[in-house]
Amino acid sequence: MNPILAIYPGSFDPVTNGHLDLIERGAKIFDRLVVAILQNAEKSPLFTLSERIEMLREVTRPFSNVEVDSFRGLLVEYARRRGARVLLRGIRAVSDYEFELQMAMMNRKIESGLETVFMLPAAEYSFLSSRLVREIAQLGGSVAGLVPPAIEDRLRTKVS
Ligand code: PNS
């Protein structure tokens, strides 16, 4: 059986403890896991693409089979280029399911050989999102325990 390469795509603006929890779970199951950051010209992210790459590389350093990369355009095209067989996505609550199902089915329609695998983060992260982390940090609240300590420092500097 060939090694299984999985792609964990997202915006990661910034990476949270919920993302990291999923990366850890994914890294245990798949032979290689590529965390792929979407380069989206339309969105105006808080952190630049290179900052997000740097932050993700820093926090995923302990995982020897995890790589950080970025992509633009269609996710399935990127997955094909990388030779991936799996797309990994996290589902926190029922509310995530509808959109995730739509994306997974659409990706399957375009590329039937690619499987989307959903994993659940630890229950303590089921309420966590990058959007809320950004909002709390921008309004001067504490994000301790929501993001890795290195990201907490970056957020503080970014919004100060
Ligand atoms: O962290 P996010 O914003 O929930 O991640 C969304 C992401 C990057 C997985 C999604 O927007 C995506 O795959 N974008 C790439 C463009 C694409 O392939 N669109 C068709 C999806 S069916």
pLDDT at 40: 84
| pLDDT mean over 88-108 | 96
In the predicted structure, residue 160 carries a pLDDT above the cut 90 = no
- Whether residue 5 contacts residue 84, with contact meaning beta carbons closer than 8 Å, is answered with yes
pLDDT at 55: 98
CA of 128 to the centre of ligand 1 (A): 19
In the predicted structure, residue 101 carries a pLDDT above the cut 80 = yes
DSSP 113-148: TPEEEEEPPPGGGTT--HHHHHHHHHTT---BTTB-
Taking CA atoms only, the protein residue closest to ligand 1 atom 19 is 74
Q: What percent of the chain has pLDDT over 90?
A: 95
Q: What is the average pLDDT score of the chain?
A: 96
Annotated catalytic residue, options 19, 89, 134, 154 = 19
pLDDT at 1: 77
Identify whether 158 is a catalytic site residue.
Answer: no
In the predicted structure, residue 38 carries a pLDDT above the cut 90 = yes
- Using the atom order of ligand 1, give the atom closest to the CA of residue 130: 1
16 Cβ inside 6 Å of ligand 1? no
- Whether residue 133 contacts residue 3, with contact meaning beta carbons closer than 8 Å, is answered with no
Identify whether 92 is a catalytic site residue.
Answer: yes
In the predicted structure, residue 42 carries a pLDDT above the cut 90 = no
Tokens of 31: 């032979």
